[in-house]
Amino acid sequence: RTAAKVVNRTVWLTLLAGVGSFYYVTKKDKSPGVQLPHDPEKKTVVVLGSGWGATAFLKSLDTTDYNVVVVSPRNYFLFTPLLPSVAVGTLSTRSILQPTRYVTRHKARSVKVIEAEAQSVDPINKTVSFIDNSDIQGSVSSTTIPYDYLVYAVGAETQTFGIPGVQEHACFMKELQDADKFQRRFLDCLESSAFPGQSDDEIGRLLHMVVVGGGPTGVELSGELHDFLEQDLKSWYPELAGKIKITLVEALPSVLPMFSKRLIDYTMSTFKESKIDILTQTMVKEVKERSVMLAMPDKSIVEMPCGMVVWAAGNRNRKITQDLMAQLPADQANKRGITIDEYMQMKGTRESIFAIGDCTASSHAPTAQVASQQGAYLARAFAQRAKRDALQARLTDLESSAAMMLHEDERNKVVEQVETVKRSLAKFKIRPFTYSHQGTLAYIGSDKAIADLPFFNGSFASGGVLTYYFWRSAYLSTLFSLRNRTLVATDWVRTKVFGRDVSREW
C-alpha cells in the first residue's frame, strides 16, 4: 500500500510540475519585457522577408549589436512543410503560423516590423523602397529607408514557365492563401458535382483533381488528398467518393528525383495502391478552365478534363530579385538566382547585401533546411562582424588620439595599444558557411512517409508507417514554438477523433 501511495504521489507531483512549467513558459512567452530602443550609434540591418531564412536569422541575432528593421508583406512565419495538411483540413490554418512580432518582441533591442512589400533595392545608395499593398492603408503607403546591411530573404515564387492558363486557372501550393483557395475550390467541385441533374461525364470531370509536378510538394499534396478521400469524404459523400480521381503529372521519367531509387519505387507502388494515377514523361502544355492539355510520352497532345488543377512545378525568382540582379550584371548572371559567396554575401555588393534561402543560386537545394541554416549562420557571422566593427572603431579612436598627443611617453603607450588592436584585427576571421544535411522526408499518404537520412558516410532509406511517425515527430519538434507544437498536436488528435471539416468557406 505504501508503494502505491508513493507512485500515486510521484504521478501527481510530476503532473503538477508539468502543468506548472507549461504555465510558466507560456506566461513568459506572452509577456515579453521592456526592450532597448534603437541606438543611432549602431548599424542598421534591414531584413527582407519573414520566411525560413529571415526568421532563423532574427531568432539567432544578438540585437544589442544592431538596429534591426524587418520588411515583409506577411507579418508571420509560415511552416511550409505542413501546408498540404492545412489544404485538406487536417490542420487549422493558424496552427502553422507564428507572428513575426512574437519573434521580435523577445529580442533585447526593439525590432521594427513593417508589413510591406519591397519594390526595389538600390545597392549603390544602400536603400530599400517598399509599399503597403494590404487592403487598408493609411495616408502614407510607400517609403524608402537606408541600410548598412541588407539581409535579403524574399524566397521564390512558383514557376509557371509562361504556360498559358496557369495563372488564371490553376491553384498554387506555396502560401497560406493557396491552401485556403485549394480547400474552397475542392469542396466547391464536390458540391457542384452533387447538383441535381449533373451528367456522369460532368461529375467525372468535376471530381478529377490534377496535380502538376512530381516534386515533394505535388507528391505530399496528392497523398494528403487521398487521406481526405479515404478517411472523411467516403463518409460524407458516399455517392461521390468512389468517383473522385487524383492524377499526378510529371514531365521527368520519375517523381521525387531527390530521393533514392528504392523510395521512388516505394512511393510509386503506394500511389498505385491508393489509386493515384501517375503520368510520368508527360508535360502540361496548357491549363484551361475545364481541362489540361498534355504532351504525352509519344509526343501526342491529349486534352484531359478536370475540375481542378494544382500547380507545383518548382520555383522561379521574384521580380524584385531579377531587378536587383540586373543592376549588377557583371556579378549576377545566374538565371537560377542570386550568386553568393560562402559568407552569404551577394557577389558585387561588397559586404552590404547578404542573400539567403530560395532567392539564391547555390549548390544546395532550395529547402527550408538550407534557408534556416543559412539564416542562423548569418546571425553568428553578424555577431563576429559587430566585434570586428567595434575593434575597427577603437583603432580609429586610438589612432586619432595618438596623433594629438604631445608627450612621447603617452604617445608610445597609445601606439602600443594601436598595435595590439591591429594584431587582433589581423587575426579576425569570419568563418564560412558549411551546410549540414539532416536528411529528406516526405509524406506520401495512407499514414506512410519516406526518409533519406544521412548515416555515417552513406545514407539510410526508409519508408512506411514507422517512418510516418518519425516524420510527425521530426516536424513537431521543428515547429517554431511551444504554441505551434500544441496546436498541431491538438489538430492531429481532433482530426483523428472528429475527422476533417467539409464545410466550404466563402
For ligand FAD, which residue of 44, 274, 369, 495 counts as binding (CB under 6 A)?
A: 369
Per CB under 6 A, 441 contacts ligand NAI: yes
Q: What distance in Å separates the CA atoms of residue 131 and residue 138, rounded to the nearest whole number?
A: 11
By a kind-dependent CB cut-off of 5 to 8 A, residue 249 interacts, out of ligand FAD, ligand NAI, none, with ligand NAI
Contact residue for ligand FAD among 67, 183, 291, 367 (CB under 6 A): 367
CB of 398 to ligand NAI, least distance (A): 49
Minimum distance, C-beta of residue 166 to ligand NAI, in the bound complex (Å):
8
**Closer to ligand FAD at the Cβ: 57 or 271?**
57
Give the C-alpha separation, 472 to 492, whole Å: 10
> Least distance in Å: CB of 70 to ligand FAD?
9
155 binds ligand FAD (CB under 6 A): yes
Please select the residue that binds ligand FAD; options are 107, 169, 174, 205, rule is CB under 6 A. Answer: 174
Main-chain phi, psi angles of 294, to 5 degrees = -115, 135
The span from the CA of 470 to the CA of 473, in Å, is: 5
DSSP string, 263-298: HHHHHHHHHHHTTEEEE-S-EEEEE-SSEEEEE-TT
From ligand FAD, ligand NAI, none, interface partner of 214 (C-beta below 5 to 8 A by class): ligand NAI
Interacting residue with ligand NAI among 51, 89, 155, 213 (CB under 6 A): 213
Site for ligand FAD in 106-125 (CB under 6 A): 117-118
Residue 122 CB partners (closer than 8 Å, separation 6+):
128, 129, 327
Q: At what angle do helices 368-404 and 408-427 cross, to 10 degrees?
A: 170
Output the nine-digit C-alpha cell for 372: 534556416
433 binds ligand FAD (CB under 6 A): no
Instruction: Determine contact, residues 233/244, Cβ cutoff 8 Å.
Output: yes
- The Cα 385–Cα 379 span in angstroms is 10
Comparing CA positions, the residue from 498, 317, 356, 427 lying closest to residue 49 is 356
Q: Taking CB under 6 A as the criterion, which residues in 446-505 touch ligand FAD?
A: none
Contact between 73 and ligand FAD per CB under 6 A: yes
Amino acid making up residue 74: R
Residue 488, CB-side half-sphere exposure with 13 Å CA sphere: 23
Site for ligand FAD contains 263 (CB under 6 A): no
Q: Can residue 366 be called a binding residue for ligand NAI (CB under 6 A)?
A: yes
Report whether 345 contacts 141 (CB < 8 A). no
CA-to-CA separations, 346 to 49, 130, 332, 458, in angstroms, rounded: 16, 20, 9, 32
Closest CB to ligand NAI: residue number: 215
252 binds, among ligand NAI, ligand FAD, none (CB under 5 to 8 A by kind): ligand NAI
For position 72 contacting ligand FAD by CB under 6 A, the verdict is: yes
Binding site for ligand NAI (CB under 6 A): 81, 163, 212-218, 220, 249-252, 258, 283-284, 312-315, 365-367, 440-442
Residues at the contact surface with ligand FAD, assessed by CB under 6 A: 48-54, 71-74, 80-81, 83-84, 117-118, 153-155, 173-174, 217, 318, 320, 357-359, 366-369, 371
